[in-house]
Amino acid sequence: MAETTKIARNSGVAVWRQIADEIRREIKHGHFKRGEKLPPEMTLAARFGVNRHTVRSAIAALTQEGVLRAEQGRGTFIANAKRLTYPISKRTRMSTSLAEQITQQERVILSHRIEKPSAEVAHALQLSDENAQVHYFETLSIADGQPVSMSDSWFDQQRFPQFDEFYKASGSVTKALKQSGVEDYFRKSTLISAQHANGQDLLHLKLTPGAIVLTAQSVNVDTNGVPVEYSATRFAADRMEFSIESMSLNEE
């Protein structure tokens, strides 16, 4: 309650930054529990003896760091930290890889359409036919009620004409591919990058502006080495990390 914290004016360090540092320190030292509400902006402004906007700058910085999460009308909350681990291995299956870490998971197909592949997709799926068509799916993965990833995936429509029916019926890529005649498949290559969340990500993954998404672009192939799926999945970076066990990785 008391204005115990000293804010140094004209010290070379911006006031908003000092406030952010202090709030971060207090969270770290357990003054707040995860999920708990931070005092309102006006209260903090009074406590630190600054304008509300200065507090807002500090909160904005901490939000961006992933330390806080603000919700209009409700308040500002202490974000929780722990990440799920997603193993990237030859036989990674979305549905089984997280099973041990969570109690409940769900996959929602947001949209599906048949389209002409972009150059990127055609190259990944090795489609040389001028008239090639692909199934395009946009899916959302939810673990324990919280969205963790959004995925764009493409499948050869000529080779798998009924794939969409199978996929929609079973909700499983593995099952749909099996019904389409692909007994088994493997992850061939994965490209990992990170960028800021875009509008779509913010909406579906329930992120705040400034949040980070970890992107994995992967090509899955059948037992003959022919690509069957190309996908680009965007994970909420504060909820997920990737692990690669490479004792039998390629030499090169």
Site for DNA in 57-86 (CB under 7 A): 57, 59, 70-76
51 binds, among its own copies, DNA, none (CB under 5 to 8 A by kind): DNA
Q: CA torsion sign, 238 to 240 to 246 to 251?
A: negative
Q: C-alpha 184: how far from its chain's center? A: 27
Q: Is 51 in the site for its own copies (CB under 8 A)?
A: no
The strand pairing partners of 230, in sequence order, are 154, 219
Q: Is 51 in the site for DNA (CB under 7 A)?
A: yes
Q: Is 188 in the site for its own copies (CB under 8 A)?
A: yes
Quick one: which of 24, 56, 83, 187 contacts DNA (CB under 7 A)? 56
Count, residues near DNA per rule CB under 7 A: 26
Instruction: Work out how close the CB of 26 gets to DNA at its nearest, in angstroms, rounded to a whole number.
Output: 15
Residue placing its CB nearer to its own copies in the complex, 18 or 157: 18
CA dihedral (88, 93, 99, 102) in degrees, to 10, reads 70
Buried b (16+ CB within 10 A) or exposed e, 209-227: eebbbbbbbbbbbbeeeeb
* Contact between 186 and 90 (Cβ < 8 Å): yes
**Which tokens hold the place of 238?**
């504060």
Q: C-alpha 103: how far from its chain's center? A: 19
Instruction: Work out how close the CB of 74 gets to DNA at its nearest, in angstroms, rounded to a whole number.
Output: 4
Which residues of this protein are in contact with its own copies, per CB under 8 A? 61, 64-66, 83, 85, 87-91, 186-196, 209-210, 212, 214, 237-238, 240-252
Task: Give the footprint of DNA on this chain (CB under 7 A).
Answer: 10, 12, 14-17, 38, 40-42, 49-54, 56-57, 59, 70-76
